[in-house]
Amino acid sequence: MFEGLPVRGMLVRLTDAWQDILHRREQAGGYPAAVKELLGEMTAAATLMQANIQFDGALILQIMGDGPVKLAVAEVQSDLSLRATATVAGEVAQGAPLSHMVNVNNDGCCAITLDPRNRQPGHQPYQGVVPLFGDRREKLEKLSDIIEHYMLQSEQLDTKLVLAANDKVAAGLLIQRLPLQGEGNLAGSGVVRRDEDQIGQNEDYNRIAILAASLKREELLELDADTILRRLFWEEDVRRFDPQLGDEGPRFACTCSRDRVSNMLRSLGKEEIESILAEQGQVEVGCEFCGAKYPFDPVDAAQVFLQPATQPPPSSGMH
């Protein structure tokens, strides 16, 4: 927090959690380097946004693409437990730009979903969707630009994001102008006209955003938080809060379970499941987030359709 200014900032550095995500994927062949970088940046960005709004539920950042990367997902719960995965169907060249991976024909999109922890049956999660191009339909080549555009279009908030990821670290810095009144954030609260008039006009935010934008990728990946904040904002009055570490900080955790898979099978219908059993002898569902396997033999499958649904179906990360 910047004392006396309508500006807040957050810094995240994921190491163990990010390496855990990559390690689990290595068992299935791993990701191309460019996909690792994209997914790492998404995981860092989703963590920053969840920590920023402290939503009681899951914040899900998705890129749906028309290139070789069909889907990339980063999901962060209110306790900062997280998971991420990507579906790749085709060659991804070393150093491939974002548009070559997910926006070949300018048909890709970015979605941010807020799914409440205690969502009632029949209620839909809040979701905002933006294309992967700017106001002049120019392709956006940085994830940070896409999210900044989302925040400006959907939330009317000036935002500066700096993101970076490699095999070891996924990191990000978020700077955001605080609304003058109300909350005006991803939680869906309205933004008053006075706040809209401040877009791009607040001198304090603009100065701090320029400083943040000077942070280089290598610095974000290699330097510790104290060094980054000192180098960037040594002239600003910054109020530091204790970092969230260990069990209170970002960490890998998957929400898949046999019950959730059972609900998914039930939603497919008894006829569909019986046809799979007739062909393969069993139904096996794998979680793309953590790699867990859930086999169902004919007896297990029959039991699925005798039991009532107990949980909502799992996310699209399972099949």
Question: Domains plus CATH for the chain?
Answer: 7-252 (3.55.30.10), 258-304 (3.90.1280.10)
> What is the reported pLDDT for 188?
46
Distance CA 209, CA 206 (A): 5
The Cα angle at residue 286 between residues 285 and 288, in degrees rounded to 5: 140
1-51 confidence digits (pLDDT tens)? 788 888 999 999 999 999 999 998 887 788 999 999 999 999 999 999 999
237-257 confidence digits (pLDDT tens)? 888 888 888 888 999 999 889
Which helix H or strand E contains 43, and what residues bound it? helix 33-53
* Mean pLDDT, range 84-96, rounded to an integer: 93
pLDDT of 108 > 60? The answer is yes
Q: For the purposes of burial, counting CB atoms within 10 Å of the CB of 239, is it exposed (0-12), middle (13-18) or buried (19 or more)? A: exposed
Distance CA 255, CA 212 (A): 34
* Mean pLDDT, range 221-250, rounded to an integer: 90
pLDDT of 179 > 90? The answer is no
pTM summary value: 0.85
> What is the reported pLDDT for 152?
87
248-305 confidence digits (pLDDT tens)? 899 999 988 999 999 999 999 999 999 999 999 999 998 889 888 999 999 999 998 8
> What is the reported pLDDT for 317?
43
Q: Provide φ and ψ at 124, rounded to 5°.
A: -100, 145
Q: Please name the residues in contact with 28: beta carbons below 8 A apart, sequence gap of 6 or more.
A: 291
DSSP 69: E
Tokens of 76: 């962060």
Q: Place 191 in a pLDDT band, splitting at 50, 70 and 90.
A: very low
pLDDT of 184 > 60? The answer is no
Instruction: Judge whether 318 and 288 are in contact, CB under 8 Å.
Output: yes
Distance CA 293, CA 270 (A): 21
Distance CA 168, CA 165 (A): 8
Please list the residues that pair with 287 across neighbouring strands.
Answer: 318
152-177 confidence digits (pLDDT tens)? 888 788 999 999 999 999 999 999 99
The percent of residues in the chain predicted with pLDDT above 70, rounded, is 90
- Measure CA 22 to chain center: 15
> What is the reported pLDDT for 196?
54
- What letter represents residue 74's amino acid? A
118-137 confidence digits (pLDDT tens)? 888 778 889 999 999 998 99
Instruction: Judge whether 19 and 51 are in contact, CB under 8 Å.
Output: no
115 or 120, greater pLDDT: 115
